């Protein structure tokens, strides 16, 4: 089966850096293609970043179905555009955040999310509330490492371990979900340090998507009905605009 | 004070049609300016429609602050881009859906939302869950009237009354929230028919926004931190694209 | 429009002291009349205080309708008698506590209430649970300043700021609701100190009530049905009493 | 031990009628004294009725402690003044509604309350929400029998059975709580008809109160702190009243 | 009436040690018989311990009905096999944990459970979630005293008081539920130290069970339907086993 | 990798009948071994059935780890003994019910479970409450087909489709979870009939378990601590038994 991973970041450097880790997800019957939106920020760290990038993520997702992919995975823990894409496609669509929470609930009763920035904390708290998982969440804490600084391995490792320890000791977390899909390399090291499962969202999403394809399960159109087709209206180069009074 | 209403619809016809009802919201110390996004669909009826339109709504909202407005109101019951815009602006931002739920909870214990289409039902259920108001929601029901067909007054009135009656009798609704900001004219008639308060979202949002301005309350930046400025990367006309393997 | 504010306190001194701040709420189309119950305690700080005072608050509320008022506002953050008064009247009724929570949820995701006394903490926690807003509440904390000591401006300011800071840092509050309607003067100073919105309940209630009047929305009688009229039986001066066995 | 039952009704007729059923609750080590408030309505069927009666219920409860009672039971399924009385007394206080819900949750997973009037439905829904038992409630339904008409045994029985059957079949109720303490005689008959446990609130409250006394458990003053003593201010016969502007 | 208490521990020593405290529960019309499962561990401290012991607890419970008992009480705060036994019997069945939570909610708004071991913390958190009481739980904390070490009175007292104080001060507990039925002797001392009600689960269960018997209430078979009779299949001494591939 | 499936049924006939469907789950890197408990009922349809069978399921699970399996899957939608087995093992353990709910929440917002018997309805409602997924559950409905009658393909298909349609139309289900792992053959047919995803629990559990093994994720011992080893005490053939008084 062919799964298309769509990154939220439009940074070529980040793409190159993470490329090998994406390719390693191709196992058994799973082929992986990793793409980026044609436009976007280097990183997605707020609802604002998300809102501006989502149309380009949807563009790639819509293409995926035509290109013959079996499933789409959103390569970002904030699940940007997840509902819109589930509406638009008929093949399975899995968000990395979504899949990581489901996995955390299988291996523990309460989990914490370690976000990269204070800003994305609220974004993920809102997602957890929206998905109805609040009773299983211990906390969302920020490690205060901007996505693009994750390259500094030592500093990132230290910050994440320190934050996750607080989540375990003060909030009662029994497993840790990383709040960004760019931290796979850190995973094993953090887990060794903490002694509880450390969950990498993108891997969860690929396993979940592959499972759905193998079980021939598709997104429920009763839950996510296909958008009605309609014209796109544009006045960009025209002078028409109402702001009277 | 000056409040900028931003419609989700990009339809000029709808704009013209609703113009008078927007201007009537200018009372006392409140000046109203109503605008549309520079691009968009004629109506917003799904998460997909919302995702594609939101960047242009944000564009108008960002302008609002520079133009000297005191508050921004989203003129759409789906609250498109609400979190992103609250992050981006420092002036108060109120969504019509959000304001209508708060109002419904003041005048009743349980309310129902009458959505225009089956599709927007899910969208609003998700918003209610996200806002944490599930225990006060009786139901979301669809009247099955596409936004642009609301012009047919008689048919729309009949469909909404019939659906709202079910919400009252079968689901225990004690007040009715209209799930679209284009139905103000119907409001009084529906209320007369039903005998319970019928809530028009845009009016609620304008009252709420004006109240915030008068109380000099702004959006909490601890809740909605300002997005970090970063470069917008674009490869639209370049050949650079990774989809190897 | 004319709005009647009904204080919970029967203290003439407090009335005099707060009079100017009540009159400032008369803006635009809003006329304000502020009254006190004919009997009561100097302050309402427990369910016991509330229970004994409520009949006299209801008395003033019932009069309001006959006196031609357009709305009633309960000038107390504990919302004393709110349900009973919503049942009794046909004009809109807004509680200061109720309105402040709705406002806090517009400007932030999570709010804390700073109660004046440990005792009122439980009262407000119970209200939040009753209104179904628990998932949006960060905490209720007591500043340990009796209502009638709020006159000591410096001490009150210090106590409230210290308590609110804990709510922000330890409980994750993103906005602060003052748990008493007698602290308006402190509001701006506390907000300046804390950097998050500080919400004064009475102002919220007046804005909300005025909004309801402008939108011609009334309390749902499906939610708050009118009490059936019946005789009041009194044996005060009679010897009739059963406590046999 | 001596338990004081405080009725919410001030009707002498109802008192006489229910007297025997109260005295039957005196078993083993339990002595029962049943009293009425010195003023009140013939029945308590709304929050308004409750608010006006509560001061007189509190009066009897306060006396109870001085009279040497071991516990107080509120003889009304709406738990009028429960929090206030728990604050005021140091001996155990049990509400009939409260005790009946706890009992229903012991004998079943989901229960329904059969209220006497549509009006009390909301009152009880609000209590369930306040106590945090919503996930165990199947429904509150009204049998539409005013308290004082319960005397018509046949009609009351038929109405309650019909309503309870709907609760069982349509709402999934597995036990039935009677929403009024004046229906003990009906209990066994309704249970026989329905085949699920039918719970009489006052009996539950007496058992619960007696159990607390035997275990020497008192109300937590950390939960229900004693009200601070203060002066009662009265301007009834004076001309002092502020309603300027 | 005759109530059968079924311990979860199979330790003869513990039985002897606790015997007097069980017999003291026989008051008024209540006769007590205390038994142990025919097989089991010395203590029940995990779901694993529980799963292996439950069949032997069920055996004693099933016998109880034939032996003419009026009610069964599970003498263990983890409520081992509660649902299964409620299904199997027609006489009332009360779990000590279950009864203690209901009692705690009568005397306070928020309670904490002091478990004996870290391990049983999760067990009790899961029970609270299952019963739907999460909004009333302040916390479950472990005193880190294995059940069989409770004999060391001084050390146990100190550990429980220290842990309970944290629950009160840091988690907002207003009453304390002991998370083991073997600590009755400690109860009064802990309560004296803490100043909030300290609840002994077994006493609560006996009071609750006796109350149900007096009120002639049985477990709802709509909630806990009687298990369909079927053959027990055993291959213990046969060679039949499938694990091919 | 090697995954051990442990059936809850001890029926040899059912084992033979379902054998092929279990072996089909071996795909790619997944080897499947399917076993039954050495003792048990022919089917597990109540908490009572579950309680008696669980020790023998645990026995097989404990063996699994020694036999070198990589994961254990409980081949029963009621998740019998799930917590106990998660405590006991260090390899991943997945319940079929648990995995099916997580999968249903990926493909839809609200799901219904179609139980085979009225009795198992309560069992599954309790599991959903325990897992914290109530806000995503539309309903649990019984198709009234005993597990061992599932052989009658036509009748079972008809009953399940009829029940699932009610769940979709009346309860708002957007996907259907089969409440038994013996219905795989029906799955595709039911899905075709209904037009929404129909989820087979055992397949979900195998996919989930295989995913955990591939990601090297184990059960959190902070959530499910290993049981303390202790002696098993048995008095089966001895005369020692306490039931005095």
For the stretch C215-225, pLDDT in tens is 999 999 999 99
At residue E146 the predicted structure's pLDDT band, cuts being 50, 70 and 90, is confident
CA–CA separation, D100 and D25 (whole Å): 15
For residue B79, give every residue at least 6 positions away whose Cβ sits within 8 Å of its Cβ, in sequence order, or none: B95, B96, B97, B98, B127
CA–CA separation, A147 and A77 (whole Å): 12
| Interface membership of E234 toward F (CB under 8 Å) | yes
CA–CA separation, E90 and E70 (whole Å): 10
Q: What is the mean pLDDT of residues F26-47?
A: 95
pLDDT at C238: 57
The backbone torsions φ and ψ at residue F70, rounded to the nearest 5 degrees and listed phi first, read: -95, -20
User: Which range among B182-186, D93-97, D229-233 shows the weakest confidence by mean pLDDT?
Assistant: B182-186
**Which residue is listed with tokens 């109405």?**
D159
| Interface membership of F20 toward E (CB under 8 Å) | no
| Interface membership of E133 toward F (CB under 8 Å) | no
Residues linked to residue C198 through DSSP beta bridges, in sequence order: C176
pLDDT > 80? residue B55:
yes
Strands of the sheet with E93-95, listed across from one edge:
E31-35, E2-7, E71-75, E93-95
Q: What is the mean pLDDT of residues B142-146?
A: 87
At residue C81 the predicted structure's pLDDT band, cuts being 50, 70 and 90, is very high
Q: What is the mean pLDDT of residues A152-178?
A: 94
Per DSSP (E only), the strands in E31-89 are: 31-35, 39-40, 71-75
CA–CA separation, F64 and F58 (whole Å): 10
- pLDDT above 90 covers a percentage of chain E that reads 85
| Interface membership of C13 toward E (CB under 8 Å) | no
pLDDT > 60? residue F223:
yes
Q: Which residue has the higher pLDDT, B141 or A145?
A: B141
- pLDDT above 90 covers a percentage of chain D that reads 85
pLDDT at A198: 98
For the stretch E166-198, pLDDT in tens is 999 999 999 999 999 988 888 989 999 999 999
Q: What is the mean pLDDT of residues F46-66?
A: 97
- For helices D118-131 and D96-107, the axis angle rounded to 10 degrees is 70
pLDDT at D184: 87
- pLDDT above 90 covers a percentage of chain B that reads 85
Cβ <8 Å between D211 and E208: yes
Per DSSP (E only), the strands in chain E are: 2-7, 31-35, 39-40, 71-75, 93-95, 111-115, 137-142, 175-178, 198-199, 233-234
Tell me if E2-95+203-214 shares its fold with E97-200: yes
One-letter-per-residue 3-state SS of F118-131: HHHHHHHHHHHHHH
What residues 153-172 of chain D have any CB closer than 8 A to a CB of chain C?
none
CA–CA separation, F55 and D64 (whole Å): 54
Give residue limits of the domains in chain B: 2-95+203-214, 97-200
pLDDT > 90? residue F150:
no
CB E92 within 8 A of CB E25: no
pLDDT > 90? residue D126:
yes
**Annotation: CATH topology of E97-200:** Rossmann fold (3.40.50)
pLDDT at B237: 57
**Which residue is listed with tokens 């990383």?**
A178
Let me know if chains D and A touch, i.e. at least 3 Cβ pairs under 8 angstroms.
no
Assign domain C2-95+203-214 to a CATH class: alpha beta
Count the alpha carbons within 13 Å of B92 in the hemisphere toward its beta carbon: 29
pLDDT at D236: 65
Sign of CA dihedral F25, F28, F30, F34: positive
pLDDT > 50? residue D222:
yes
CA nearest B40: which of B4, B12, B3?
B12
Per DSSP (E only), the strands in A99-160 are: 111-115, 137-142
Distance of residue F95 Cα from the nearest chain B Cα, in angstroms: 27
pTM > 0.90 = yes
Cβ <8 Å between B132 and A129: yes
pLDDT > 80? residue E149:
no
Q: What is the mean pLDDT of residues F16-37?
A: 95
pLDDT at F99: 98
| Interface membership of E107 toward C (CB under 8 Å) | no
H helix intervals, chain C: 12-23, 47-66, 82-88, 96-107, 118-131, 153-171, 184-194, 201-214
pLDDT at D201: 98
Cβ <8 Å between F39 and E233: yes
pLDDT at B236: 66
CB C201 within 8 A of CB C224: no
> Would you give the distance in Å from CA C89 to the centre of its chain?
17
| Interface membership of A203 toward F (CB under 8 Å) | yes
At residue E237 the predicted structure's pLDDT band, cuts being 50, 70 and 90, is low
pLDDT at C39: 95
User: Which range among B80-89, B232-241, F197-206 shows the weakest confidence by mean pLDDT?
Assistant: B232-241
Distance of residue C60 Cα from the nearest chain B Cα, in angstroms: 20
| Closest residue in A to C174 (Cα–Cα) | A122
pLDDT at C240: 47
CA nearest D50: which of D16, D21, D17, D84?
D84
For the stretch E88-142, pLDDT in tens is 999 999 999 999 999 999 999 999 999 988 889 999 999 999 999 999 999 999 9
Residues linked to residue C112 through DSSP beta bridges, in sequence order: C139, C176
| Closest residue in F to E89 (Cα–Cα) | F48
pLDDT at B240: 47
CA–CA separation, A41 and C11 (whole Å): 60
Count the alpha carbons within 13 Å of E187 in the hemisphere toward its beta carbon: 22
* Per-residue CA distances from C126 to C85, D69, E109, E190, F160 (Å): 19, 28, 9, 28, 44
Angle at E12 between CA E7 and CA E17, to 5 degrees: 80
CB D11 within 8 A of CB D21: no
Of E109, E196, E207, the CB nearest to D215: E207
Residues in chain E: 245
CA–CA separation, C193 and C162 (whole Å): 10
* Most distant CA atoms of chain F, gap in Å: 64
For strands D175-178 and C2-7, give the pairing.
unpaired
pLDDT > 60? residue A104:
yes
pLDDT > 70? residue A242:
no
User: Which range among A56-70, A141-155, A206-220, F191-205 shows the weakest confidence by mean pLDDT?
Assistant: A141-155
For strands C137-142 and C93-95, give the pairing.
unpaired
Three-state DSSP state, A202:
helix
> Would you give the distance in Å from CA C73 to the centre of its chain?
8
For the stretch E12-66, pLDDT in tens is 999 999 999 999 999 999 999 999 999 999 999 999 999 999 999 999 999 999 9
Cβ <8 Å between D126 and B109: yes
Of F133, F168, F197, the CB nearest to A218: F197
Element (H, E) at A104: helix A96-107
> Would you give the distance in Å from CA B136 to the centre of its chain?
19
Cβ <8 Å between A122 and C109: yes
* Per-residue CA distances from D44 to C48, D57, D157 (Å): 19, 12, 20
pLDDT at D238: 56
| Interface membership of F181 toward A (CB under 8 Å) | no
CA nearest E212: which of D22, D21, D197?
D197
Tally of CB atoms within 10 A around F237? 6
pLDDT > 80? residue F117:
yes
At residue C239 the predicted structure's pLDDT band, cuts being 50, 70 and 90, is very low
At residue D125 the predicted structure's pLDDT band, cuts being 50, 70 and 90, is very high
Element (H, E) at A47: helix A47-66
Distance of residue E129 Cα from the nearest chain A Cα, in angstroms: 9
CA–CA separation, A143 and E87 (whole Å): 49
- Between C and E, how many residue pairs show a Cβ–Cβ distance under 8 A? 5
pLDDT > 50? residue F245:
no
Task: Annotate D70-136 with DSSP letters as a single string.
Answer: SEEEEESTT-TTHHHHHHH-SS-EEEHHHHHHHHHHHH-S-EEEEESSHHHHHHHHHHHHHHT-GGG
CB B210 within 8 A of CB B29: yes
One-letter-per-residue 3-state SS of B91-144: CCEEEHHHHHHHHHHHHCCCEEEEECCHHHHHHHHHHHHHHCCHHHEEEEEECC
Count the alpha carbons within 13 Å of A27 in the hemisphere toward its beta carbon: 19
- pLDDT above 90 covers a percentage of chain F that reads 85
Cβ <8 Å between F212 and A132: no
């Amino acid at each position: 089966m062919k799964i298309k991973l769509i990154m939220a970041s439009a940074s070529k450097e980040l793409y190159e850096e993470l490329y090998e880790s994406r390719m390693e997800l191709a196992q058994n019957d799973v082929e992986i293609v990793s793409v980026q939106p044609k436009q976007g920020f280097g990183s997605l760290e707020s609802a604002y970043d998300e809102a501006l990038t989502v149309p380009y993520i949807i563009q790639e997702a819509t293409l995926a179905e035509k290109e013959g992919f079996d499933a789409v995975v959103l390569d970002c823990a904030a699940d940007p555009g997840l509902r819109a894409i589930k509406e638009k496609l008929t093949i399975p669509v899995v968000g990395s955040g979504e899949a990581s929470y489901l996995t955390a609930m299988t291996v523990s009763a309460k989990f914490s999310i370690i976000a990269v920035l204070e800003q994305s904390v609220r974004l993920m708290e809102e997602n957890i509330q929206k998905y109805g998982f609040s009773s299983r969440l211990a906390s969302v804490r920020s490690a205060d490492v901007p996505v693009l600084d994750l390259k500094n391995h030592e500093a990132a490792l230290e910050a994440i371990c320190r934050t996750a320890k607080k989540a375990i000791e003060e909030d009662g977390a029994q497993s840790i979900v990383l709040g960004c899909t760019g931290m796979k390399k850190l995973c094993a090291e953090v887990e060794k340090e903490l002694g509880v499962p450390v969950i990498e969202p993108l891997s969860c999403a690929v396993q979940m998507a592959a499972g759905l394809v193998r079980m021939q399960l598709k997104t429920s159109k009763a839950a996510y009905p296909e958008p009605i087709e309609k014209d796109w209206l544009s006045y960009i180069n025209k002078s028409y605009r109402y702001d009277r009074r």
